[in-house]
Amino acid sequence: MQTLWFITNPNSGTTSQAKCEAMEAVFEERGLRLAGRTRFPEDALPEAARLYAADVDTVVLFAGDGTINAALRALADWEGAFLILPGGTMNLLAKALHDETDPHKIIHAAHGCDRRVALPYIVAGEHRAFVGLILGPAASWFRAREVVRKGRFGRLLAAVRGAWRSTFHRRGVRVQGARALGDSYQAVFVTPTLDGLDVAAVDARDWGAIAQLGWEWVTGDWVAARAVTESRTEQLRLRERKPVLALFDGEPETIDPGTTIRAGRSLETFIATRAEVPAA
């Protein structure tokens, strides 16, 4: 790790402009050369050719899971290393790769570490999720989350009511390919593992689970929401006739009917400073 490209999102989680500048001071302290920086989404993400031309060996990502997802997809064919720093709400990728939660300490540890690991992810058409995927009517809770992110608390009640109405007044989403799953669910959580997909489904009969899902989503830790039915599989297929709203690492996308959802695995490109990275 010698020549860096720094990708940040000053509006994501805890990544203020001042903290981004503090990260750059740590780079200088360690004698690392900063070849370029991207403030996403104001700036376009760099292309692989640009990184090769600048002799970049490591992309440092100081942002939330959604921004990290966008950058990893944009640079899927680049063969350099990625250093993930905790700069969002949940920071699940950073927690999987590092014992520390202090970005400064992670940079110091990573400078002397040449260990790279592969990470699993979810593939659904052109979309990817490194943290998790949510399918179904309950995915509409992302609108309430955006209200909180933007500090528009006067609109929160209306957003919550809209999400609740969408969750319970729409037929659930149907998927097939995992044992123990029933006909339809209000929310289907899919998490990537190194050997497949973990699936957790919540149906409308469990009001408590849906209420918890909504609350955890608004407050930031949707992964903590309680599941009703759990299963593991190698792939799922969306059994719908119309496009379905889905959240990839918390960001909304629409996926087509019949889409196959499967597990993928990255190159060994993520810098890991943990003594042992747990299998996902």
- How does pLDDT run across 238-265, given as a tens digit for each residue? 988 889 888 898 788 999 999 999 999 9
Q: Measure the CA dihedral 242/203/170/225, to 10°.
A: -90
Query: For residue 279, what pLDDT is reported?
Result: 47
What average pLDDT does the segment 219-235 reach? 69
Q: Which of 28-42, 95-109, 165-179, 201-215 has the lowest mean pLDDT?
A: 201-215
* pTM, full prediction: 0.79
What average pLDDT does the segment 193-211 reach? 76
Task: Tell me: pLDDT of 60 over 90.
Answer: yes
- How far is the C-alpha of 133 from the C-alpha of 128, rounded, in Å? 9
Round the average pLDDT of the chain to a whole number and report it.
82
Share of the chain above pLDDT 90, in %: 41
Any residues with CB less than 8 A from the CB of 38 and at least 6 apart, and which? Answer: 5, 6, 7, 8, 44, 45, 46
What average pLDDT does the segment 206-230 reach? 60
Task: Tell me: pLDDT of 271 over 90.
Answer: yes
- Position 39 confidence tier, pLDDT thresholds 50, 70, 90: very high
**Cβ atoms within 10 Å, residue 219:** 12
- How far is the C-alpha of 136 from the C-alpha of 128, rounded, in Å? 17
Nearest-CA neighbor of 268 among 96, 115, 60, 48?
A: 115
Task: Tell me: pLDDT of 156 over 70.
Answer: no
Share of the chain above pLDDT 70, in %: 75
Count CA atoms closer than 13 A to 156's CA, side-chain side: 13
